[in-house]
Structure 1
Amino acid sequence: MSDQGYLLDNQQTEAGRRFEALSALLDPVTFRHLAATGLTAGWSCWEVGSGGPGVPDWLAARVGPSGRVVATDIDTAWMPADAAYDVLRHDVGADDPPGEFDLIHARLVLTHVPRRAEALTAMVGALKPGGWLVLEDADPALQPLICPDEFGPAQELANRLRRGFRSLMAERGAELAFGRTLPRLLREAGLADVQADAFFPITSPACTTLEIATVQQIRDRLVAAGLATAEEIAEHLENVASGKLDLATAPLISAWGRRGQSARPSVAAGR
């Protein structure tokens, strides 16, 4: 990424509201995929780029005291001090994996990691024989609109601000078409039983909360880049708060695959 860093800084107060909204939207999808791996008591799990406690809490409840959960992130500020699992500061693209695991999961992480190939190599290399890797990433290029039904000025403004948001992300190294590549990358990594699906909410109260928090986080950057005026952003936030916009998200692509029981798979460079 550029030296401007990650666009959605986790130190900002709005980050907590973003995490809550993402959990409300995506946790049911994620939990369904993780449960489908056969997750059970005694498993060791690595939650990569955990952000908040929602997913590692769920994992810890399922593996029980005989299992192990490690939650890692480059910023662990939103993790509880009394978590019933290990919390580690960790850069998945640069640091060695914190062990070997039956299940490794990352959601909305690799899109933002500059060294994506190294991160994927690290995760595949940390799988135990038979272990599962579940990756979930958005694909804003596949569905770029926040208002797919662009029938009026409010929707047009929302979509213009969303285009500005995407351009700021791309400038910082985010791969906006990454989600669709996940099945291929898992196959190229040598994993077996690869499958994938997508989740695409079109309207939800959580989408409204997420949009307000996101725009509040980036409003100064939008203005500084000449992508919107302060007045336009204020108008958009009023439109969103009215509850009259049908706000969508980019599709979340979920892909999963299993390491064979014998030789460790080799990972292609990927994107």
Structure 2
Amino acid sequence: MAADNAYLLDNWQREAGRRFEAFAELFDPWTLGHLERPGPLTGLRCWEVGAGGPSLPAALAARVGPTGQVLVTDLDTTWLTRLADGGPDSAPVRVLRHDVVREEPPGGDFDLVHARLVLVHLPERAQVLRTLAAAVRPGGRLVIEDADPALQPLACPDERGPAQELANRIRRGFRSLLAERGADLAFGRTLPALLRAAGLREVAAEAYFPVTSPACRELEAATVRQLREQLVAAGLATPAEIEEHLANLREEPDREPEQELDVTTAPLITCWGRRPLR
């Protein structure tokens, strides 16, 4: 992540850890499936950009193995300290505080460069993507995953009652805060064109979003708790509405099944390409 106070969801905030855990449950299987799509990762030299939490870098290190290397970078490495030693069957992991916007890449000729939910928050996103593409060795791959909230903007696509209407109104407030901070709410769909413009070949992309799961509700609740003050200060929700929404998200044993909130995420667009051999 870049050193910019405009970033809405700082890693140092208390709820960041819960958000990282929810992201891991929701997206790690999807992401790892795409990273391994061309074949095993054994022995590769990898750069995980703006990692945030430890789950994906740890899984990547296990798959690369002791003959590979994993560089993990973020502006805030608070949640990455336990990656120091993954055991004898994992790749050596180097954790580095790094500003992907303002600093040169920490090395080059990577077999695999990956970033998930990073570029969408950066006004300099196109420049950063070109920088990441240039760090890939000839024949290596760049995999960028980013959100496209404008493609499916609702928290509850099945808006069947007041609880769902409130969830969608608060999600609209969250989207407006993101836009004010420079996020591109339609960025995900632009990734194929951007990767081709950066000189990559064999470019393809897929989209994924879970329609409902406990992890979706946990991610929504952690995000709303983290942004509570900003939502209220901007007049996008009242304290009472936020408490009501958080109560609706909690699992209650005596709640009727039809009253359960089916909460989804913005679509995650996964795009990949290969740097030509020459």
TM-score range, shorter chain: over 0.9
The CA distance in 2 between the partners of 1:141 and 1:6, in whole Å, is 19
The CA distance in 1 between the partners of 2:40 and 2:105, in whole Å, is 20
Q: Where do 1:218-257 residues align within 5 Å? A: 218-242=227-251, 244-257=260-273
The answer to which of 112-121 and 189-198 deviates more is 112-121
- SS in structure 2 of the partner of residue 247 of structure 1: coil
Are 1:87 and 2:95 an aligned pair?
Answer: yes
Q: Per-residue deviation at 1:37?
A: 3.2
CA contact under 8 A between 2:26 and 2:215: conserved in structure 1? yes
Residue 258 of structure 1: aligned partner:
274
Are 1:73 and 2:59 an aligned pair?
Answer: no
- SS in structure 1 of the partner of residue 217 of structure 2: helix
- SS in structure 1 of the partner of residue 78 of structure 2: coil
Q: Where do 1:174-185 residues align within 5 Å? A: 174-185=183-194
Residue 29 of structure 1: aligned partner:
30
Distance 1:55 1:227, change over 3 A: same
Residue 98 of structure 1: aligned partner:
106
**Taking structure 1 as the reference length, what is the TM-score of the superposition?**
0.93
- SS in structure 2 of the partner of residue 11 of structure 1: coil
- SS in structure 2 of the partner of residue 248 of structure 1: coil
The CA distance in 1 between the partners of 2:5 and 2:58, in whole Å, is 32
- SS in structure 2 of the partner of residue 92 of structure 1: coil
For structure 1, the 5+ residue unaligned runs are: 263-271
Post-superposition CA distance 1:50-97 (Å, at most 9, x none):
001111111111222221100000110000245240001111122111
- Identity among equivalent pairs (%): 64
- SS in structure 2 of the partner of residue 130 of structure 1: strand
Are 1:146 and 2:155 an aligned pair?
Answer: yes
Q: Per-residue deviation at 1:4?
A: 5.1
- SS in structure 1 of the partner of residue 81 of structure 2: coil
The CA distance in 1 between the partners of 2:83 and 2:212, in whole Å, is 35
- SS in structure 2 of the partner of residue 32 of structure 1: helix
- SS in structure 2 of the partner of residue 36 of structure 1: coil
Residue 209 of structure 1: aligned partner:
218
Q: Per-residue deviation at 1:119?
A: 0.8
Residue 268 of structure 1: aligned partner:
none
The answer to which of 82-91 and 231-240 deviates more is 82-91
Are 1:137 and 2:146 an aligned pair?
Answer: yes
- SS in structure 1 of the partner of residue 80 of structure 2: coil
Residue 16 of structure 1: aligned partner:
17
- SS in structure 1 of the partner of residue 79 of structure 2: coil
The CA distance in 2 between the partners of 1:129 and 1:251, in whole Å, is 30
Distance 1:171 1:142, change over 3 A: same
The CA distance in 2 between the partners of 1:109 and 1:168, in whole Å, is 16
- SS in structure 2 of the partner of residue 190 of structure 1: coil
CA contact under 8 A between 2:54 and 2:82: conserved in structure 1? no
Q: CA RMSD in A?
A: 1.5
Q: Per-residue deviation at 1:41?
A: 2.1
CA contact under 8 A between 2:48 and 2:114: conserved in structure 1? yes
The CA distance in 2 between the partners of 1:121 and 1:182, in whole Å, is 11
Residue 256 of structure 2: aligned partner:
none
Residue 120 of structure 2: aligned partner:
111
